[in-house]
């Protein structure tokens, strides 16, 4: 059984990915969000819902205990959130992190100028990259609702290809990364449609 903690479980991408995880019988989920009443438990036998703030380190550490993977789907003060997650994972001895960021944090999107709105995402990525975690940072393009689950990956330092990516593609990739502990470890991946 693979136990996955989803931080920011009410976000659009997380809500789209939860049913994809549950297609795998070998998965148990813990959904962590600030207001638990905003989400319905899709499978009480395999899903636990926890109301909590990621910045409450004792609650976060409690939620992390016994987990195999932390999948982060957050917005806000990304630097503080990343620092708190890294510290809590260290305390409980948890290593695997899937972290959703944004395309453009390295100025890698051809034809687009880097904007300061990306600073918190870039700074959070820098903290994660400096940690000893088995992280994978995903830098997706703009979300679409296309049915296709086909995507291309670019590594940090390579120009971003495309501009959009389907939610189906991202969910597929997140599940693969979560269930394959050695896949794309310590990588920052641009994700866009083919």
Query: What pLDDT, on a 0 to 100 scale, did the predictor assign at position 71?
Result: 98
Give the tens place of pLDDT for each residue, 150-161. 999 999 999 999
Strands 2-7 and 27-33: what pairing? Answer: parallel
Range of the domain at 175: 2-193
Query: What pLDDT, on a 0 to 100 scale, did the predictor assign at position 78?
Result: 97
**Maximum Cα–Cα distance across the chain:** 48
- Count of structural domains within the chain: 1
Query: What pLDDT, on a 0 to 100 scale, did the predictor assign at position 113?
Result: 83
Query: What pLDDT, on a 0 to 100 scale, did the predictor assign at position 112?
Result: 84
Cα distances from 4 to residues 66, 160, 182, in angstroms, run 9, 29, 15
* CATH code (residue 94): 3.40.50.720
Query: What pLDDT, on a 0 to 100 scale, did the predictor assign at position 163?
Result: 84
Measured from the Cβ of residue 24, the count of other Cβ atoms closer than 10 Å reads: 13
Which stretches in the chain have pLDDT values below 50? none
Query: What pLDDT, on a 0 to 100 scale, did the predictor assign at position 115?
Result: 81
Give the tens place of pLDDT for each residue, 59-92. 999 999 999 999 999 999 999 999 999 999 999 9
């Amino acid at each position: 059984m693979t136990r996955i903690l989803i931080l920011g479980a009410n976000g659009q991408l997380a809500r789209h990915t939860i049913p994809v995880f549950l297609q795998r019988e070998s998965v148990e989920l813990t959904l962590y969000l600030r207001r638990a009443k905003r989400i319905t438990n899709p499978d009480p036998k395999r899903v636990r819902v926890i109301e909590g703030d990621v910045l409450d380190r004792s609650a976060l550490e409690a939620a992390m205990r016994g987990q195999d993977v932390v999948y982060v789907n957050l917005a806000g003060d990304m630097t503080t959130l990343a620092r708190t997650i890294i510290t809590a994972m260290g305390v409980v001895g948890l290593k695997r992190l899937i972290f959703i960021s944004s395309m453009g944090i390295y100025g890698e999107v051809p034809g687009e100028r880097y904007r300061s709105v990306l600073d918190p995402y870039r700074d959070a990525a820098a903290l994660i990259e400096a940690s000893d975690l088995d992280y994978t940072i995903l830098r997706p393009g703009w979300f679409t609702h296309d049915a296709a689950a086909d995507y291309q990956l670019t590594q940090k330092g390579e120009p971003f290809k495309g501009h959009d990516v389907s939610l189906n593609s991202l969910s597929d990739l997140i599940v693969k990364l979560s269930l394959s502990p050695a896949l794309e470890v310590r990588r920052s991946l641009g994700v866009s449609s083919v």
